[in-house]
Structures are given as structure tokens and as C-alpha cells.
Amino acid sequence: MENFQKDALVNIVLAPYLQAATALIGKSRRVGGNQFRHTWATVGILIDHKIINSVILKAAVLHDLKEDAEESYFPDAIKNFDSDGYRVVELIEELSINSEFETKAEYLQRVMINGSPEAKIIKLADRISNLTDIQLGTFSIEKICRTIDETKLYILPYAKEINANMAREIEDLVTSREQYLERTIKFIVTKAIDVLIEHTSNVLEEVNTEATNLLSRSMQDIQNIIHSNTEEDRKKIQANISDEIMRFNNVVTDIVTGITSDLQTELISQKINPNANTQNNI
């Protein structure tokens, strides 16, 4: 940091904005900590990239306040904090998604294409923080993939024109997270295959035993039909064979259901949800 940047920071008074942002302390973050710490991380990322602008830093402190703690969002009070207050409120509004009228994709496109320069730079810092927080122990693979896809579709195409260094950091984060996912998925698939192989061996033994028993009983029933004296006896034996075949089918179905259930349990334990809704917002 150059001296002129340090001097600029000295003259930026964040205290009233930080006080308002403490409402986010009660809003937990899935990776741990709370949303207040996330806003500080966003501010730190901006300063790291030499973004020393009072309006941008103040708005970054409060960029999640309306979305995550609307009950503590008082725009008129913020406007009176100082001469930057009015513009800070405009940026908070611009950076807040209106879920009643826009999807996450539409929101990101609105900010990245039509947003103000200040909103765009804050959104890049916010996305860097979110990508840095990605971890499989907290998020499902579906959610991580969705975050990466959103970044590639709606953030990266515009990031370089906004700030080349931040764009490069986002690209590096996306690449590292994709590599992390690839290694993780390979591990999970290997585990799932191991489970399947183990159960397949047991299944083959169970099916073989059941099939042998069914064949033995059916052969005896066939002999009984051959030596039966009445039509009524033959019908009873045929019905018995049908019952045995049905029982065998039920046994095989139960075995296959057991395999499917065990395999699904293994996948879910590794944070893969086969029934996940990929449209959920971050």
C-alpha cells in the first residue's frame, strides 16, 4: 500500500457503517462465523486490490444488510451518517436481489451488465469471498457446481473489463474449485463402486441360493403333476409353482432395493443428493 492510499484510508470514517453492520452478527454463515465477518472479508478484498474509495468501502460493509437483516435496515438513518450516506443506500439497493421479481441469474446479469461501476466492483469482491468459502463439508456438490456455473456464466464474462486483477483471482478460484470437485467426485465414485461390488457379491450368493431352492421345489412340483391323478391336484400344484416364482421375484426385488438404498445412503453421506433441486439460490 502506498502512502497516498494509507492517507486516503485515514480519512474514511467507517464507524457508523460498522455499527449498522453489527446487525449481521446474528446472521450465521454456513461455512461458520456470521455475515458481519463476510462483509469485513469483502472490504479486505477491496483494499487488497487497492480499491480505496470511501463510498465503495462503506457500501461493501453494508452490502448484505437489506437481504440478510432487513429488520435492521434503516436507509434514512444511513443517508444521514455522512455525505456518502445517500450514495451508499443507492448501492445497497442496487446490490440487493428482489426475489419476487428476479431470479439469481437475472440479478447477477442486472448488476454485471447494467450496474454502476461501484456495484460491479463490490460484486466482484463479494464473489471472491464466496468462492474462497467453498468447502464440501458445508455445501453439497450440487451447490458448489451451481456457484461455479453462475460465476462462469454471469461474472467472469464481464469481470476483466471491471478489474483485471480481480478477474484473474476469480478465474484462479474457479479453476482450483473445479479441480477440487473433480478429485472429490472421483473419490466418491470409487467409494460408491466399492459399496456396489461388496453388495453385488452378497446378492449373487443370495440369488443363487434362492434360485437353487426354487428349482428344486419346482422339479418336485413337476414330478407331482406328472403323477397326479386328478385335475384338481394338478391345478393346486401349478398354483404352488406360481406362488414360488412370485416369492422368488419378491426376494430379488428386496435385494436390489437394499443395494439401491445402501448406495444412496453412501452418496448422501458424501454430500451428493440424487434429488437435489439445482435451482435453489445461493
Q: What is the pLDDT of residue 8?
A: 82
Q: Say if residue 24's pLDDT is above 80.
A: yes
Please give the pLDDT value at position 276: 44
Kindly list the domain boundaries of the chain, sorted by start residue: 3-101, 187-269
- The mean pLDDT of the chain is 81
Rounded to whole angstroms, the Cα distance separating 154 from 253 reads 46
Give me the torsion for CA of 83, 87, 92, 98, rounded to 10°.
140
Tell me the per-residue pLDDT of 42-54, one tens digit each, with 9 for 90 and over: 999 999 999 999 9
Answer yes or no: is pLDDT of 266 > 80. no
CB count within 10 Å of CB 29 equals 15
Q: Are 143 and 282 in contact (CB under 8 A)?
A: yes
Across residues 166-174, what is the average pLDDT?
A: 95
The C-alpha cell that represents 127 in the structure block? 464473489
Compute the average pLDDT of residues 169-191.
84
Q: Let me know: does 153 contact 105? Beta carbons within 8 Å.
A: yes
Q: How confident is the model at residue 92 (pLDDT cuts 50, 70, 90)?
A: very high
> pLDDT (tens digit, 9 = 90+) per residue, 101-120?
999 999 999 999 999 999 99
| pLDDT tens track for 139-154 | 777 888 889 999 999 9
Residues 213-226, mean pLDDT to the nearest whole number = 59
Question: Which residue is associated with the grid cell 450440487?
Answer: 142
Beta bridge partners of 34: 28
pTM above threshold 0.85: no
Half-sphere exposure for 69 (CA within 13 Å, toward CB): 22
Beta-carbon contacts of residue 84 (< 8 Å; ≥ 6 apart): 54, 55, 58
